[in-house]
Amino acid sequence: RGHAVVAELQRTAEAVDASALNEPRLRSVLPDFVVFRTEGAIDRVANGPEKMELDEESRELNLDSSARIFRVLAAIKKYAIDLARLIDDIDAGAFVGYSLEGILRDGQGACLLPEAVALLGTMLLVSDQRLPGQTRERALVLFYRCTVGTSNEPEDFADVCRLFKSTGRPEDLATRKPGYPESYFSRFLLQKEAIRLVIGKLQTGDIYEASR
C-alpha cells in the first residue's frame, strides 16, 4: 500500500501543472493559507466582475489538479495514521506474541517495519520537493472554495492543511534552515521509541542480509 501511495504521488506531481497554480496573473484568486487568517477573506477572493472572470479561468485550469493534490495528500495522512496505530497496537500487546523488539529480531519483520517507516519519510520528502509548499497551499485553498458546503467537502480538510502547510523548503537544500526536515516530520506522530528501535536496527544490522 505504501508503494502505491508513493507511485500515485509521483503520477500526481507529473500530471499537475504547477505553473498554472502559481500564475502571477491569477495570483489574486489563488491565495495561499494566509487567506484563512482573516475572517471572511475566503468569501471575498472573487469579489467584483474582473476577479470573477479570473476565478472562472483559474477553476478551469486548476480544479482537477487541486482535487488530485488533495486526494494524494489525504492518502499520505491516512497511511501515517494507520502506521502510527499499528505501532501503538503492537506496543500495547494487541497482537499476542508480538512486540516491536521481537518483530525487529525476525528476518521478515526487520525488513518490513523499517520499510514502512521509510516509506512515510519518502512520501513526505517527495511531496515537499515535487509539490512545493506554495503550490500545495494554493491548490488546497482552491479545492476548499470549490467544495465547502457541498457533498464533496471532506471531513479531514483541516488536518490535511495542518500537516501539509508550507515547510519553507528552499530549492537548494544546502541553504535550508536548521530543523528541516525534522520539524516537518514531527507533524506526523509516530512513537519515538519505535523510531529509536528502527534506527538502532538499521545501524547495527544488515536487514536484507546482503553481505552474506
- pLDDT, tens digit, 9 for 90 and up, residues 120-171: 999 999 999 999 999 999 999 999 999 999 999 999 999 999 999 999 998 8
| Euclidean distance between CA atoms 42 and 44, whole angstroms | 5
Tens digit of each residue's pLDDT (9 = 90 or more) over 31-73: 999 999 999 999 999 999 999 999 999 999 999 999 999 999 9
Tell me if the bond preceding 178 is cis, omega within 30° of 0.
no
Name the band, by pLDDT with cuts 50, 70 and 90, for residue 205.
confident
The position carrying cell 482537477 is 64
Amino acid type, 197: L
| Euclidean distance between CA atoms 87 and 90, whole angstroms | 5
Q: Inform me whether the pLDDT recorded for 4 exceeds 70.
A: yes
Position 177 scores a pLDDT of: 86
- Which is more confidently placed, 206 or 110? 110
Position 107 scores a pLDDT of: 85
**The C-alpha cell that represents 41 in the structure block:** 477573506
Position 90 scores a pLDDT of: 93
Residue 190: how many CA atoms within 13 Å on its side-chain side? 24
What phi and psi, each to the nearest 5 degrees, are found at residue 178?
A: -60, 140
H-helix or E-strand spanning residue 38: none
Name the band, by pLDDT with cuts 50, 70 and 90, for residue 211.
low
